Amino acid sequence: MGVDLGEVLQRRKILLDDLSGKSLAVDAYNTLYQFLAIIRQPDGTPLMDRERRVTSHLSGILYRTANLAEKGIRIAYVFDGQPPEMKEMEIKRRRKVREEAAVKYEAALKAGSTEDARKYAQATATVKELMIEDSKRLLKGLGIPSVQAPSEGEAQAAYMALKDDVWAAASQDHDSLLFGAPRMVKNLTISGRRKLPNRQAYIEIEPEIFELADTLAELGLTREQLVDVGILVGTDYNPDGVKGIGPKTALKLVREFGDIATIAARTPDLDLPENVGRIKELFLRPAVRSDYSLNWAKPNIEEVVDFLCKERDFSEDRVRKALERMETGLAGQTAKPTLDRYFG
């Protein structure tokens, strides 16, 4: 879910070429869910190997990483650790959505409705332990660093950007800004378009960048007040938010009263969550680790080929071509620096 503040946040569109030579920390779970939902057969069946192990996430990692590397963009994947207890309600909500979607998926298959089957199948995506292990194994072969967060991956990615170890955090949610990321990149993809839900239509999408300092200046808020706006709208720690309050109303209230504590005192009719202080603490002082290392290396081509092609039934020709594009892109054109400078 994540907090949705899109209506009030300042952003600007950029080109992927603008990110060339820069490094970004990507929320791995968010990305894997995206791959598992989108990379499927027409009837909704995920990609699988001969032993029926799902491989959609591995396909996504390989080709997206290669595409971004071809643009000279370095990414590091950040994996979630133990979720905060306050996220339990949101986790249960997501599980219920998946269970309901699974029932609808089976019904659509029996009815012979391929389009509905695919739609419901996308909502059943779940990341399992083997998928995480396989993802980390592939990333190691690709020479891409992965970081295991103690808790929220987005919080860890934001911390890495705040420490200037990466240039920005990349996410589809706005939580990264509440966690303090100085920059957040949205729509980090090569595809350039996204299918509209329940419609045979697509919209063009472009990468966007959110600068926290510019956003706060434009809104006239502090970061703590931005967190208050998020709590009013709804976060993973209070998914229902406050009834009847959207981003614009939340912004107006925080500007008028200064903080959520004063809002609670002055507007007793609002049904604010009782644990506001704890929610703010999770955003302002999240559990993160500082003992990580970010080392990009040249892809181990034969290791990747052995894993994906011999064990997971990928096309060797396609895998080798993706790795070749990755190396060529990182090396740059003849007039640009070599791989050694990129990896250095």
Query: pLDDT tens digits for the chain (344 residues)?
Result: 678 888 889 899 999 999 999 999 999 999 999 999 999 999 899 999 999 999 999 999 999 999 999 999 999 999 999 999 888 878 888 889 888 988 988 898 888 888 888 888 888 888 999 999 999 999 999 999 999 999 999 999 999 999 999 999 999 889 999 999 999 999 997 556 665 555 556 677 889 999 999 999 999 999 999 999 999 999 999 988 998 899 999 999 999 999 999 998 998 888 888 889 999 999 999 999 999 999 999 999 999 999 999 999 999 999 999 999 998 877 763 334 444 444 54
Tokens 């979630």 map to which residue? Answer: 80
Residue spans per domain, the chain: 9-219, 221-285
Give the per-residue pLDDT at 334: 34
112: Cα within 13 Å, side-chain hemisphere: 0
Region 221-285: CATH code: 1.10.150.20
Give the per-residue pLDDT at 12: 92
DSSP run (H or E) holding 179? none
Strand-pairing partners, residue 27, are 78
User: What type of residue is 152?
Assistant: E
The answer to whether 199 touches 193, Cβ cutoff 8 Å, is no
Cα separation, 155 vs 80, in Å, equals: 9
Cα separation, 277 vs 151, in Å, equals: 19
Beta strand ranges found along 152-237 (DSSP E): 168-170, 183-186, 193-195, 202-204, 208-211
Give the per-residue pLDDT at 201: 62
Region 9-219: CATH code: 3.40.50.1010
Cα separation, 176 vs 233, in Å, equals: 16
The answer to whether 120 touches 106, Cβ cutoff 8 Å, is no
Give the per-residue pLDDT at 333: 34
